[in-house]
Structure 1
Amino acid sequence: MNHATQQRVRVLTLRIALERVAASSYDRVCRPQTREQQNRISSRLLFVLAGIPEQEFLAARQIVQRARHVYKQTSEVMHGHLGLIDLPDAVVDEWEQIVQDLRSLAQRSVPAVQTSHTGSN
């Protein structure tokens, strides 16, 4: 397998990892009754922030923003919109670190507190 193909496989692996984190974070926070199609991945990555303590929130938000950027870039690569056919190792290495940071953050976050709405204000 040539280097360009290896890089695309690495990018695909990152994209799948981002989709898994987004889906599991959404499920953990929202607890949907049925499993729906996993779309809006970039938006669902924000659910990783649920339960992050206030003093850590800005740093956590930066991790999520970087992960959202990586998700967009992986899309560009996978759909052939990015001019680079053979991504440099440094770029993919950086993306892998961002995804690892996101995974670590997702493991530290806790479920949002569920509140019951009584309808009274």
Structure 2
Amino acid sequence: MDVLTTILVTIHVVSAAAIVGGWFAHFRNPTVTASQWIGSIGMILTGIALFGVAMATWEDPNHMKLGIKFLIGVIVFVAALLGRRRLNRGEAVPTGLAHAVGGLGLVNMLIALLWH
């Protein structure tokens, strides 16, 4: 289980880095990149899998923390989806929507790191 957990955590961190990195890369001209969209999918899926592994190994995960992280992850996913749909239609992505994807991705990372 340790190998599986390590692989899932690695994919989870890389997905979060794609979200925040895409935000920093396009901070002056905000948009939602494909890496942010894929990262939001990866972050949610690996987060759910990590929760399942924690429950299967009889650990006692912090349900409040994980629930808040999941809610923020869903918001990031929906915002990235809306931004990508607008780009696919040839429309501009609203600045607030683009910053919501990256900013909430960063908030999610900070919750993971600082909430013990």
Using the size of structure 2 for normalisation, the TM-score is 0.46
With a CA cutoff of 8 Å and minimum separation of 6, indicate the structure with the bigger relative contact order: 1
**TM-score, length-scaled by structure 1:** 0.45
